Amino acid sequence: MSGPSVAEIRAVAQPQSTMDRRSGEHWAGLLYMRRLSVYVTWALAKTPITPNQATGLMILCGVLAGVVLALPGLAAAVGAALLVQVYLLLDCSDGELARWTGRTSITGVYLDRVGHYFAEAALLIGLGFRASETLPDWYTVLGFTAALGAILIKAETDLVDVARARSGLIAATEASAGQFRSRGLGLARKAAAALQFHRIVQAVELSLLVVLAAILDLMVGGQAVTRVLVVACAVVAVVQLILHLVSILASRRLS
């Protein structure tokens, strides 16, 4: 027995409901990663690796990317970016493997969320260390500030469902996130969503920006561009933390 084919796994692990979704899927997943992840899922299905163990590998890659990013030089920036791509690949494959094996679980969902917290925080902390001339200095502090902001932004989102569950309500729908008590706030949220400035503190986008910054630093000498990126990440994280909280409180997600 040679095991299931890629087509068989794709039919079960990548249902149309998953491939058609937009809000819960990263643009890189929609653009190319789902085309690759099914082959990784096919390979993992031939091993004893469980979906939760695949998620554990995802978390390890995300944290390791932050460690590598803390090292100087363009090679470290490229290495961190590649590790983030592996992290995203495993982020797609762990759920696919769970659907194929019938091992979907609350633990898996929880670990997946923890992985996103850890990876983004590790990258931002690593970026702060990378930009620092002495340890610690203000860039180190700004890296930790950005990491804390990124974690709290995710916590604000997750705590909506916690609050609803403790009130005996079902999870908030996607539609409720776009429903506001004030028309002005609704327009402001749409404008912020169109600008996509919050993505600067997310793993995939940040890893690519770091590579670009490393190239520019190599061209001009020093770490000026990387340091500007650290400051930008800290500012965006703090501003987005406040705006996201206001957005939640003004929306229908808590009603």
Supply the pLDDT for residue 146.
97
Q: What's the whole-model pTM score?
A: 0.88
For residues 37 and 133, what is the distance between their CA atoms, to the nearest angstrom? 39
Q: Is residue 182's pLDDT more than 80?
A: no
Supply the pLDDT for residue 190.
60
The two counts, helices (H) then strands (E), for the chain are 12, 0
Q: What is the pLDDT of residues 5-45, one digit of tens each?
A: 899 999 898 887 666 665 566 778 778 888 899 999 999 99
C-alpha angle with apex 155: 180 to 136, nearest 5 degrees?
Answer: 130
CATH class of 6-250: mainly alpha
The structural domains of the chain, with segments of one domain joined by +, span: 6-250
DSSP-assigned states of every residue in 140-184 = HHHHHHHHHHHHHHHHHHHHHHHHHHHTT-PPPPHHHHT-BSSHH
Q: In sequence order, which residues have a C-beta less than 8 Å from that of residue 199 and are 6 or more positions away?
A: 205
Gyration radius (Cα) of the chain, Å: 20
The answer to whether the beta carbons of residues 248 and 254 sit under 8 Å apart is yes
For residues 217 and 46, what is the distance between their CA atoms, to the nearest angstrom? 44
Percentage of residues of the chain with pLDDT beyond 90: 67
